[in-house]
Amino acid sequence: MGLIRDLFPAAWKGFGITLETIGRKTFTQSYPEKGKEKVTAPRFHGRHQLNRWPDGLEKCVGCELCAWACPADAIYVEGASNTEEERFSPGERYGRVYQINYLRCILCGMCIEACPTRALTMTNDFKLADTTREKMIYTKDRLLAPLMPGMEEAPHPRRLGPDEQSYFLGLPPTGEVDARTPVADPQEGKR
């Protein structure tokens, strides 16, 4: 009985606060804020991207090292062999099937560290929400980098340089350095 008597004044005090705030003007903030795009840090781990060589061929060689390195088992890669009639990458193999399940992915970056050809990188794109589970599984067509001017959609033969060394250095048939791809100075490490 004593407990009820002690709570009764506290209850009326709470009702009094409620009555005071009923007449106040409310403050509502719209979300997301229109016109203000979030700026991420330069090394932010966002959506993945499969990169291309300057002639448009894919850098992925289907080695599946990214899938092996993924701690969340979010990547599925199925490699296949290139032929001279249908060449998707400059090497012997290419990633025929490439999928990343963003419902599982923890965006840790282990896959990009494991990639030997630098085919897989992470962008600053952080808006990954979608309406269905199927849309959260990104396939190769959604992961491939867009074609830049001068690139050609695969399959096609290698277009850069007469041999493999000049191809992998990114030299076009003119022999001059490609302006789109920065080339490291070979003398830089010897100084």
Q: How confident is the model at residue 183 (pLDDT cuts 50, 70, 90)?
A: very low
Q: What is the predicted pLDDT for the residue at 26?
A: 76
- Among the ranges given (35-44, 81-90, 153-162, 179-188), the one the predictor scored with the smallest mean pLDDT: 179-188
Region 122-142: mean pLDDT is: 93
Is 67 annotated in some ligand binding site?
no
Is 111 annotated in some ligand binding site?
yes
Residues 6 or more apart whose CB falls under 8 angstroms from that of 62 comprise 77, 78, 79, 80, 89, 93, 94, 95, 96
Is 15 annotated in some ligand binding site?
no
**φ, ψ (nearest 5 deg) of residue 94:** -150, 165
**CATH T-level fold of 47-169:** Alpha-Beta Plaits (3.30.70)
Residue 106 in tokens: 């923890």
Which helix H or strand E contains 93, and what residues bound it? strand 93-101
Work out the angle at residue 47's Cα, subtended by the Cα atoms of residues 45 and 49, and round it to the nearest 5 degrees.
Answer: 110
Q: What is the pTM of this model?
A: 0.69
Q: How confident is the model at residue 54 (pLDDT cuts 50, 70, 90)?
A: confident
Q: What is the predicted pLDDT for the residue at 100?
A: 97
Query: Cα(160)–Cα(63) distance, rounded to whole angstroms?
Result: 23
- Among the ranges given (14-23, 117-126, 149-158), the one the predictor scored with the smallest mean pLDDT: 14-23
Is 115 annotated in some ligand binding site?
yes
Q: Which residue reads 């400059």 in tokens?
A: 90
Is 105 annotated in some ligand binding site?
yes
Distance set, CA 110 to CA 38, 74, 77, 121 (Å): 25, 11, 15, 10
Average pLDDT of the chain is 83
Bridging pattern class, strands 93-101 and 75-81 = antiparallel
Q: What is the predicted pLDDT for the residue at 189?
A: 47
Is 66 annotated in some ligand binding site?
yes
Residues of the chain with pLDDT > 70, as a percent, come to 80
Is 139 annotated in some ligand binding site?
no
Higher pLDDT, 180 or 30: 30
Query: Cα(171)–Cα(123) distance, rounded to whole angstroms?
Result: 25
Residue 59, pLDDT > 90, answer yes
Per-residue model confidence as pLDDT tens digits over 3-21: 555 666 777 788 788 888 8
Using alpha carbons, select from 182, 190, 173 the residue that is nearest to residue 55. Answer: 173
Q: How confident is the model at residue 191 (pLDDT cuts 50, 70, 90)?
A: very low
